[in-house]
Structure 1
Amino acid sequence: MNSRIILLMLLLTVFASCESELTKTPDFISEEVVFEDRSLTEAYLANVYQDMLFIDLGGQAQNDMGMIPAAGAEHINFANWQTPNTTYTRSYTAASGAGPLDYWGYNAIRDINYLLENIVLSESLDEEYILQKMTEARFLRAYTYFQMVIRFGGVPLITKVQNVDDPEEELYPARATEQEIYEFIISELDDIILTMPDQKSGAAGRADKYAALSLLSRASLYAASIGNFSTVQADGLVGIAPGSTQGYYEKAYASSKEIMDSGMFSLYNKHDDKTVNFSQLFLDEGNDEVIFAEVFEPIIKGHSLDNLATPAGFLSTWNSNFPVLYDIVEIFDFVDGRKGTEISRDELIESNSWDIDDFFGNRDPRFKASVFYPESVWQGGLVYFHSSTTYTNDAGERVKVTSGTLDRNGEAWPAAANARNVRNTALLLRKKLDETNLEPISGRSGQDFYVFRYAETLLNFAEAAFYLGKTGEALDALNQLRDRAGMPALTEATEDNIRQERQVELAFESHRFWDLIRWRIAPQYLDKVRTKGLVFDYDLDADKYVITLKNAEGTERAFGPERFYLPISLDRIADNPNLAQNPGY
């Protein structure tokens, strides 16, 4: 059933319940009156917002929240039956389509087009209000096309409501080129920015001028990257002409700079402790780093992040669902300037032991705020990840135990951690979790999801500035982020450190997968790669850990040659025979 019809039925229920039997209206609300009433208009647009793919809350108990990080080799899900763990095989075919990464947002597009065509006919709503709702709707339409273009390249560009009696070429539109879709997104945003008021509503979940500038910054940067690093294929259905690259970088640079120069936003910096500060950024909602958010409230509109991600050993009913891959841990450098990869994988052998504070605790504070590792402090206790404990018993023998409790300096020490913490990688997602939520319940977490935050603006700006030859400006933007994190300043901006800083700052926020694709380096990290987890054996005598590697996933990741776009399913092509398939399928 069309979502507009469902919405109108719901509105009827609400409005009819307020009426007496004597004045009760017929059991329908005519579509013609929706845009004659502000409450109905707001409800209609709220339904469109609800349809947006800001974050995927599908899957059992909302486990699909981990979808894009799993695809990007940041963290996986606890069990292979959970949908995100099917993304890393890239076993997509023309027959089955894009699988769990699919998004074909034309229901939302139709609802938006309907609003745009009909709200202008309103005889009751004032012009200023109509313009405001139209700009919000056009932002959401641009966002929907952006979510499709990053998956498929060119898609059909539909900007009017389709009706059954329309000509066939309108009912069955061919795909526009990828560049045409990016040009549409950019032109729409350029246009609506001119009329959006210079005020902030994005942190409250309503698109504003700065949300539009943020999408313009991101989309322009993506287009620039594709023009810079790829070739045009399939008559332009995928790929962007290299000659357009500089213009897109300039657009990303200018839109980012407009946000920066507005004075409306700043990096969150309320706490002296850098780890605490980065943790609280995602819990102190409405702060000046948030540009646009999907707003959640427990009970009213909650999610399940705390229940899913809290480690075993605490009061979560279904825990430890997002094991972090060691591959992403290595990207985080140390506060003393050492590279994260300075600890060679060849050193992770049974004859070596490690101080856990040095191995993990001295890394970038953003790591400590984002990942649970052995002896992380949480809710007044320790999080355990060791599979066994080795110690010298009363007979002077070295023994390894996996059950029971030992004494460590007068405190109880479990011989081994809960199996759920150990099973996959022996590391878990911590970013965005609410430590004050002592008894997490499914659907009752209320942390907002930040769609755009100021840190990304600085990263977009740095990347665009670098490719425009403005390396000094790029370096300054990067060092603003590093200073906030308590990391040593960089002395130069390079392609490598721009990319590393982006992956560290935005880790687990559904960016890395798409970044690796637009940079055209995804096969390096996602093809024929066996991702790793860790095994910890605690040495009670030395208060150190033996750390060894294990395979985190059952098979190698498979990205496939030149498959930077997802396939369009045969079912979809059967519905519209004018849809051409992407290369490689």
Structure 2
Amino acid sequence: MKSIYKHITCLLFAVIVTSCNKDFLERKPLDIIADDAAYGSLSGIQALTANLYNNMPTEDLGFFMDGSEALFPSQATDEAVRSYSWGYTLDPILEDGYYIWWKYDLVRTVNDFIQKIPAVTSINEELKARFLAEARFVRAFYYFSLVKRYGGIPLITKVQQYNGSNLEELKVPRNKEQEIYDFVASELDAIVDQLPESYAANDRYRATRYAVLALKCRAMLYAASIAKYGTVQLGGLVGIASPADGYWQKAYDAAKAIITSGKFQLYKENPDKTDNFQQLFLTAADMDKNKEAIFVKTYKAPDKSHSFDFYNAPQSFKVDYGCVTNPTTELAEEFEYTDGTKGTLKIKDASGNPIVYSNPADLFKNKDPRFKASIMYPFTSWQGGIVEIRRGVIDNGTKYTSPNLTDVYGTGANSIPRVGKDGPLLAGDPTKTGFYIKKFMDPVNRVNSQMSTTPWMIFRYAEVLLNYAEAAIELGKTGDALTAINELRERAGIKALTSVTRDQVRHERKVELAFENHRWWDMCRWRIATDVLNNTQFHALYPWLMWENGKAPAAMKYTFEIVPAPKNTRTFLPKLYYVKIPPDEISKNSNLVQNPGY
């Protein structure tokens, strides 16, 4: 894992700076370049700035939760379970250590840049102001990433220097959680007008003023949630004592500024609603055409890529690894039908008898197109084939299954593997729930290891609409919330709502942003993880072939059942709303106070 991460980091650095002068790519590593060389030219400053972007904790497609390979955030939520038999999320009790400590050396790097850039003489004042604003954006993003994990943390804005006798002075105590959120807001307010609305094509992946507003919108939404639903502890080191409405209003205002700018819109390039939502994520790097993308991290193989497809490919489509993220039936049923009715899968009739489907894919007919674009369900078309998911055969009421993919049922030309080539199985790699992830996946190419290039939208317009709706509903601006939610539903092809509640706003957020690494944080900031995850058994969908003697299996019909997934229930302890500060960090700094419950 560490070698993979290091590889991604180095390659990301190279690609981000494609806008720099060509000779920059031949420069020595920045950690061995003297200050006068690094700050002595435009290309050197561009390289330093690119390095700041590179270090941002964006929690993207290559982000693993606790350092374990292929342990993606959705596997710790109600979105998915982990297929592999190893990894943190298989523990019955979700313990501390889920997120690695975000080291302050990266904060120091940003602070160093912020302190040095004003004295630079190699570029004009306008450029200096922009580079400085970009650095402050990166630092604000970094502090937001810290505060949402730990609550209040030491707020350090200047480079600390050890002179041989000032060690105690360098042991900075934790600031209050509210102080960190307020710092993020004030930094973003200070720089929003110093960054351009857009860049030329070769610089399009840098932060604009709308990226600043998007970060403020998200951060203030989190602060408001903590103020309303959290508890103040440790004298304010965790929790926010101020009224939540002030933060809801800041989130609302930042989102509204993006909305009313007219610069962004929901992606609607494809008339097919399913294809459109799938292509939204695959085309985000083309920001001229994809107007939903606000701030994007891009990849280019072989120099810079990620392994999302490699780890998540269905069993018969994988190259070595695969199968790891298995969406739950609970998530599948969160996606409504296009007429606005609940998304409960229709596996039984009104009398409680199994419904028999001639075409098993018909079980998902008229489901929210976002479901079909986000989740591979049984018998989905994929990469020129079919994701064949079958738990076994039912012959005269008796079920016949297998612990492997090779056992067959029937004889001669009418024989068939009992279990589909893509599972599900109770052990091994194939799906444990009857589903695979589809969002972000390459629909054409089988990807080998570090070769995926799907971009990552750090901020997209749909999230802004959802943030706006949430802030609006909390402020009592129900009409604004309804308008934003219906804009998303219209793009998805779902019946519009005539009224909206807080729970409906949260529901829309869950399905629109599924697998985009928001759900864990949403459950934490709303303080609902203890209810959603504790002692919750997630479920699998099992297709069964209805055997008919003398008939070709391809012409036979299917029924379905929903059963507990072969994974442990989980316990989410309330202390996990904040991440544990590593004891060795506290031993180094006696002024640090551990978070509650640890």
Category of TM-score, reference length = shorter chain: 0.7 to 0.9
Q: Are residues 1:455 and 2:453 paired?
A: no
Structure 1's 338 and 406: CA in aligned 2 closer, same or farther, altered over 3 A?
Answer: farther
Tell me which residue corresponds to 1:377. Answer: 381
Give the 3-state SS of the residue equivalent to 1:416 in structure 2. coil
Give the letter for the 1:216 counterpart. Answer: K
Tell me which residue corresponds to 2:392. Answer: 388
Contact 1:103 1:147 in 2 (8 A): no
With 523-532 and 275-284 compared, the bigger mean Cα shift is at 523-532
Give the 3-state SS of the residue equivalent to 2:574 in structure 1. coil
Contact 1:563 1:583 in 2 (8 A): no
Structure 1's 335 and 161: CA in aligned 2 closer, same or farther, altered over 3 A?
Answer: same
Tell me which residue corresponds to 2:338. Answer: 335
Give the letter for the 1:574 counterpart. Answer: S
Give the Cα–Cα distance (whole angstroms) in 1 for the partners of residues 570 and 506 of structure 2: 21
Q: Are residues 1:246 and 2:249 paired?
A: no
Give the Cα–Cα distance (whole angstroms) in 1 for the partners of residues 319 and 26 of structure 2: 40
Tell me which residue corresponds to 2:429. Answer: none
Equivalent in 90, 93, 102 of residue 100 of structure 2: 102
Tell me which residue corresponds to 2:551. Answer: none
With 530-539 and 470-479 compared, the bigger mean Cα shift is at 530-539
Contact 2:338 2:366 in 1 (8 A): yes
Equivalent in 292, 295, 298 of residue 295 of structure 1: 298
Uncovered stretches (5+) of structure 2, i.e. residues with no partner: 1-5, 427-431, 549-555
Equivalent in 522, 531, 535 of residue 524 of structure 1: 531
After superposition, give the CA deviation of every residue in 1:440-497 in whole Å (9 maximum; x if it has no partner). 1111110111111000000000111111111111100000000000111011110110
Tell me which residue corresponds to 1:95. Answer: none
After superposition, give the CA deviation of every residue in 1:94-137 in whole Å (9 maximum; x if it has no partner). xxxxx231232412111000100111111212111111111111
Give the 3-state SS of the residue equivalent to 1:340 in structure 2. coil
Q: Are residues 1:368 and 2:372 paired?
A: yes
Tell me which residue corresponds to 1:126. Answer: 124
Structure 1's 63 and 334: CA in aligned 2 closer, same or farther, altered over 3 A?
Answer: farther
Tell me which residue corresponds to 1:44. Answer: 48
Give the 3-state SS of the residue equivalent to 2:504 in structure 1. helix
Give the Cα–Cα distance (whole angstroms) in 2 for the partners of residues 240 and 16 of structure 1: 45
Give the Cα–Cα distance (whole angstroms) in 1 for the partners of residues 348 and 128 of structure 2: 60
Structure 1's 125 and 430: CA in aligned 2 closer, same or farther, altered over 3 A?
Answer: same
Structure 1's 195 and 493: CA in aligned 2 closer, same or farther, altered over 3 A?
Answer: same
Give the 3-state SS of the residue equivalent to 1:296 in structure 2. coil
Structure 1's 79 and 506: CA in aligned 2 closer, same or farther, altered over 3 A?
Answer: same
After superposition, give the CA deviation of every residue in 1:415-458 in whole Å (9 maximum; x if it has no partner). 32136553421211111111121x31111110111111000000
Tell me which residue corresponds to 1:76. Answer: 81
Equivalent in 91, 97, 100 of residue 95 of structure 2: 91
Tell me which residue corresponds to 1:549. Answer: 563
CA-based RMSD of the aligned residues comes to: 3.3
Give the 3-state SS of the residue equivalent to 1:330 in structure 2. helix
Contact 2:347 2:561 in 1 (8 A): no
Q: Are residues 1:570 and 2:583 paired?
A: yes
Contact 1:189 1:213 in 2 (8 A): yes
Give the Cα–Cα distance (whole angstroms) in 1 for the partners of residues 576 and 421 of structure 2: 39
After superposition, give the CA deviation of every residue in 1:341-360 in whole Å (9 maximum; x if it has no partner). 476999999x6245444533
Contact 1:333 1:363 in 2 (8 A): yes
Q: Residues 142-541 of structure 1: matches in 2 within 5 Å?
A: 142-165=140-163, 167-168=166-167, 170-200=169-199, 204-243=204-243, 245-285=244-284, 286=286, 287-314=290-317, 316-341=319-344, 352-353=354-355, 355=357, 356-391=360-395, 400=400, 403-404=407-408, 414-418=417-421, 421-423=424-426, 424-437=432-445, 439-541=446-548
Give the Cα–Cα distance (whole angstroms) in 2 for the partners of residues 508 and 388 of structure 1: 29
After superposition, give the CA deviation of every residue in 1:379-413 in whole Å (9 maximum; x if it has no partner). 22211121212357xxxx977465337799x9996
Give the Cα–Cα distance (whole angstroms) in 2 for the partners of residues 158 and 308 of structure 1: 38
After superposition, give the CA deviation of every residue in 1:326-353 in whole Å (9 maximum; x if it has no partner). 222221111232212476999999x624
Give the Cα–Cα distance (whole angstroms) in 2 for the partners of residues 407 and 347 of structure 1: 36
Structure 1's 413 and 205: CA in aligned 2 closer, same or farther, altered over 3 A?
Answer: farther
Give the 3-state SS of the residue equivalent to 1:53 in structure 2. coil
Contact 2:98 2:579 in 1 (8 A): no
Give the letter for the 1:77 counterpart. Answer: R
Structure 1's 416 and 556: CA in aligned 2 closer, same or farther, altered over 3 A?
Answer: closer
TM-score, L = length of structure 1:
0.87
Give the Cα–Cα distance (whole angstroms) in 2 for the partners of residues 201 and 547 of structure 1: 54
Give the Cα–Cα distance (whole angstroms) in 2 for the partners of residues 85 and 364 of structure 1: 30
Give the Cα–Cα distance (whole angstroms) in 1 for the partners of residues 355 and 340 of structure 2: 22
Structure 1's 17 and 71: CA in aligned 2 closer, same or farther, altered over 3 A?
Answer: closer
With 281-290 and 355-364 compared, the bigger mean Cα shift is at 355-364
Give the Cα–Cα distance (whole angstroms) in 1 for the partners of residues 364 and 174 of structure 2: 48
Structure 1's 411 and 269: CA in aligned 2 closer, same or farther, altered over 3 A?
Answer: farther
Give the Cα–Cα distance (whole angstroms) in 2 for the partners of residues 208 and 110 of structure 1: 23
With 191-200 and 315-324 compared, the bigger mean Cα shift is at 315-324
Give the Cα–Cα distance (whole angstroms) in 2 for the partners of residues 114 and 345 of structure 1: 64
Structure 1's 547 and 157: CA in aligned 2 closer, same or farther, altered over 3 A?
Answer: same
Structure 1's 236 and 348: CA in aligned 2 closer, same or farther, altered over 3 A?
Answer: farther
After superposition, give the CA deviation of every residue in 1:68-116 in whole Å (9 maximum; x if it has no partner). 2122221233213245545x73222xxxxxx231232412111000100
Contact 2:195 2:208 in 1 (8 A): yes
Structure 1's 191 and 445: CA in aligned 2 closer, same or farther, altered over 3 A?
Answer: same
Shift of 1:15: 7.7
Structure 1's 201 and 574: CA in aligned 2 closer, same or farther, altered over 3 A?
Answer: farther
Give the Cα–Cα distance (whole angstroms) in 1 for the partners of residues 306 and 24 of structure 2: 30
Shift of 1:522: 1.2
Give the 3-state SS of the residue equivalent to 2:98 in structure 1. helix
Structure 1's 278 and 136: CA in aligned 2 closer, same or farther, altered over 3 A?
Answer: same
Structure 1's 520 and 580: CA in aligned 2 closer, same or farther, altered over 3 A?
Answer: same
Give the letter for the 1:382 counterpart. Answer: I
Structure 1's 66 and 343: CA in aligned 2 closer, same or farther, altered over 3 A?
Answer: farther
After superposition, give the CA deviation of every residue in 1:277-319 in whole Å (9 maximum; x if it has no partner). 1111011122110111111111110111222212122253322
Give the 3-state SS of the residue equivalent to 1:76 in structure 2. strand
Shift of 1:547: 1.2
- Name the % identity: 38
With 531-540 and 227-236 compared, the bigger mean Cα shift is at 531-540
Equivalent in 573, 576, 593 of residue 560 of structure 1: 573
Give the 3-state SS of the residue equivalent to 1:239 in structure 2. coil
Give the letter for the 2:150 counterpart. Answer: F
Give the Cα–Cα distance (whole angstroms) in 2 for the partners of residues 514 and 17 of structure 1: 37
Contact 2:227 2:242 in 1 (8 A): yes
Contact 1:204 1:295 in 2 (8 A): no
Give the Cα–Cα distance (whole angstroms) in 2 for the partners of residues 58 and 513 of structure 1: 14
Contact 2:171 2:590 in 1 (8 A): yes
Structure 1's 369 and 128: CA in aligned 2 closer, same or farther, altered over 3 A?
Answer: same
Give the 3-state SS of the residue equivalent to 1:456 in structure 2. helix
Shift of 1:241: 1.5
Uncovered stretches (5+) of structure 1, i.e. residues with no partner: 93-98
Give the 3-state SS of the residue equivalent to 2:559 in structure 1. strand
